[in-house]
Amino acid sequence: MCGFAAYVHPDGRSPDTEWLAAAADALAHRGPDDSGFHVEPGVGLAFRRLSIVDVASGAQPHAHEDGTVWITYNGEIYNHLELRRELEERGHRYRTRSDTETIVHAYEEWGEACVERLRGMFALALWDRARRRLFVARDRVGIKPLYYARADGAFVCASEIKALFAFPGITRAVRPAGLVEHLTLRYTAAPATLFEGIEKLEPGHSLTVAAEGTRRRRYWRLEWEPKLEIDDDAALEQLEQRLTESVRLRLMSEVPLGALLSGGVDSSLVVALMSRVIQRPVRTFSVGFDQPPAAGQIYDERPFARRVARHCGTDHHEIVVTARDLERELPALVWHQDEPVSEPAAIPTYLVSQLARASVTVVLTGEGGDELFAGYPKYAAEPLARLMSALPAALRDPLLDGGARRLPFAFRRLQVVARSARFRDESERLAAWFAGLAGDERARLLSPQTRCWDHVAADAFRRVLDDSAARRPLDRMLDADLRLWLPDDLLMKMDKMSMAASIEARVPLLDHPLVEWAARLPDRLKVERLEGKVLLKRLARRLLPREVVDRRKVGFTVPLAPWFRGPLRDLLVDALLSPTALARGLYEPQVLRGYVEDHLSGRRDRARELWTLLTLELWQRTFVDHAPRRAVAWTPPARVAAG
């Protein structure tokens, strides 16, 4: 696992070596083991390496034997040995054992179509000297990030946005529409970012950059039809076979590996299958919170993780996260994420990754199970929300305004259903399920200068749904989440937070053959009445204790609601209601104060909205107000320190 940056100028102007060195330095956490550079007329490549496969000879940038093709890439190609055998039969000669060299030979053999042969996670930049073109690509589901921009006439790309700022001509201007999108979705949907002029390559896409221009190609599209004609028993057997194969492939490593174990179904299932394949005890790592249960909400899932660890015989390790840990690590969170991906689980993910890094370099994780197999409660609740949304407004709105909005903290999920049910438009309704702020609530908060962009709030969902090959309601929800929420929120969080600890995270549930198979499963194997993830849970019941599988889904929930009313109260108020924040002119001050007071008084749980606003403000202070600097320890306001 690594980080890289690439520079190509159509006029043949070479980059200053100091630019490449600065870009590599910004990515040092992604590759603490080694660095490498290549410069020739009009081209520059910078690389940082975390050594995992072919530790001895897998350095980058890597060149074809005649020096005509150079590559720098981030990821793992799990079928590289299979491809190597095929390529050697076609006459290709290898000098290393690395998967990097396989990509070079695959490009030489199949051209840009080589990415269609790769099974794994990757972002790559390949310089073809003979054709004077740069080929960049990102894996099918977006496990690895890739950002790009124009810098004084040159094309530049990198694994993280902060590396792009090493090149002259890259500005840190905020994209106004992106602010509204972020307040709604809690992330910025590809291909846009929150920075004007900086984009991220969409999953399953490639770019070819040459003197005559830039060509974008979508090389992978998920198909949802025809549905598989399969009985329940056969589906269960195939799932076990496919997921076991995926886990086995992701054990490819020359360095120690383990797993992040939340105690939920997905990560527990990965650990159970790892334990079957690995002869020694799997090293597992869990995180919990020191907050007691409240209003039916469980914050500490370590007891479930321990139960799985005992059942699977793992070498188990834990860490407890407090409000002060979150406060202390906020600068690192903001700096490492580049954009304010407002997923509160980022902090515990970062801390548990640091715990894991003490003994392993690679971890397997459970991301993707909910989006593939319909695990979120919203998938079962959407038919009700869709039905309610079709009611006449005169009947629907009083019902929602008069009832659901006044429900206490314990009924937060019903509030979310009611909020989504307000929107008859499919894109607006689906965007509202995980939204920070939606509809009238968002519009009331925005100042006039920001409100003029309110119409773009759900544009990402509208674009994806218009383009989707899915036609059934459940498939359309899953397709949207696989293309938006998963890569731009969950996978971005996992990549940035694991790489901040210099550890590689692998996601067996997102093996693309498994993804393609799951998309074509009939609905009954995903949602049955109010239960989601039907087929995956059936497999889990084979391999795990029933009390782990059949408990109520709570997700990886950070206790922000009580923390904002307690130890993080002053931090919240000082950040959101400070003169600096209010002077930005983004919000109506009285409405913003009302949101804060709603939560502090206990009238309404505003934790999600306030975290979204807080991370956006801290991002602006880090990246917009001045040139970004490597994170340092957070200095709390004076009265917080005194308290």
The CATH code of the domain that includes 80 is 3.60.20.10
- Which range among 285-294, 316-325, 583-592 shows the weakest confidence by mean pLDDT? 285-294
Please state the rounded mean pLDDT for residues 322-343: 90
Q: For position 384, what pLDDT does the model report?
A: 86
Looking at per-residue pLDDT, the higher value among 626 and 242 belongs to 242
Q: How far is CA 375 from the centre of its chain?
A: 17
Q: Cα–Cα–Cα angle for 224, 230, 232, nearest 5°? A: 115
pLDDT band at 389 (very low <50, low <70, confident <90, very high): confident
Q: Which of 188, 218, 248 is the last residue of a domain?
A: 218
- pTM, two decimal places: 0.94
Q: For position 640, what pLDDT does the model report?
A: 30
Judged against a pLDDT cut of 60, whether residue 56 lies above it is answered with: no
Clarify whether residues 43 and 170 are in a common domain.
yes
Clarify whether residues 371 and 384 are in a common domain.
no
The CATH code of the domain that includes 611 is 3.40.50.620
Is 2 one of the annotated active-site residues of the chain?
A: yes
Clarify whether residues 340 and 386 are in a common domain.
no
Please state the rounded mean pLDDT for residues 117-137: 97
The whole-angstrom separation of Cα 536 and Cα 470 is 21
Looking at per-residue pLDDT, the higher value among 422 and 37 belongs to 37
- Tell me what percent of the chain is helix, strand and coil, each rounded to the nearest 5: 50, 15, 35
Judged against a pLDDT cut of 70, whether residue 270 lies above it is answered with: yes
Q: Which of 432, 466, 482 is the last residue of a domain?
A: 482
Please state the rounded mean pLDDT for residues 50-70: 78
Clarify whether residues 194 and 321 are in a common domain.
no
State the total domains in the chain.
3
Sheet architecture: strand order including 43-49: 34-40, 43-49, 2-8, 154-158, 147-151, 198-200
Q: How far is CA 155 from the centre of its chain?
A: 25
Please state the rounded mean pLDDT for residues 419-431: 88
Clarify whether residues 492 and 641 are in a common domain.
yes
Judged against a pLDDT cut of 50, whether residue 256 lies above it is answered with: yes
Clarify whether residues 329 and 434 are in a common domain.
no
Clarify whether residues 464 and 489 are in a common domain.
no
The whole-angstrom separation of Cα 251 and Cα 258 is 9
Clarify whether residues 230 and 199 are in a common domain.
no
The 10s digit of each residue's pLDDT in 484-498 is 999 999 999 999 999
Are 510 and 368 contacting, i.e. CB atoms less than 8 angstroms apart?
Answer: yes
The 10s digit of each residue's pLDDT in 358-369 is 999 999 999 999
- Can you read off the two tokens belonging to residue 302? 């370590």
Please state the rounded mean pLDDT for residues 397-423: 63
Beta bridge partners of 154: 151
Judged against a pLDDT cut of 70, whether residue 38 lies above it is answered with: yes
Taking only Cα atoms into account, the Rg of the chain, rounded to an integer number of angstroms, comes to 24
Clarify whether residues 358 and 449 are in a common domain.
no
- Can you read off the two tokens belonging to residue 527? 């949602």
Clarify whether residues 357 and 226 are in a common domain.
yes
What ranges in 295-359 are assigned the alpha helix state H?
302-312, 323-337, 346-357
Mean pLDDT of the chain: 91
Of 289, 344, 282, 277, nearest to 318 by C-alpha is 289
Clarify whether residues 361 and 398 are in a common domain.
no
Q: For position 297, what pLDDT does the model report?
A: 67
Amino acid letter at 355?
Answer: L
- Helix (DSSP H) and strand (DSSP E) numbers for the chain: 30, 17
Please state the rounded mean pLDDT for residues 498-515: 96
The whole-angstrom separation of Cα 171 and Cα 466 is 32
Clarify whether residues 79 and 210 are in a common domain.
yes
- Which range among 210-214, 309-313, 405-409 shows the weakest confidence by mean pLDDT? 405-409
pLDDT band at 419 (very low <50, low <70, confident <90, very high): confident
Q: How far is CA 299 from CA 42, 288, 295, 572, in A?
A: 53, 7, 11, 20
Looking at per-residue pLDDT, the higher value among 332 and 405 belongs to 332
Q: Which of 157, 188, 218 is the last residue of a domain?
A: 218
The whole-angstrom separation of Cα 38 and Cα 64 is 13
Domain that holds residue 143: 2-218
Of 73, 540, 508, 489, nearest to 312 by C-alpha is 540
Q: For position 632, what pLDDT does the model report?
A: 47
Q: For position 639, what pLDDT does the model report?
A: 30
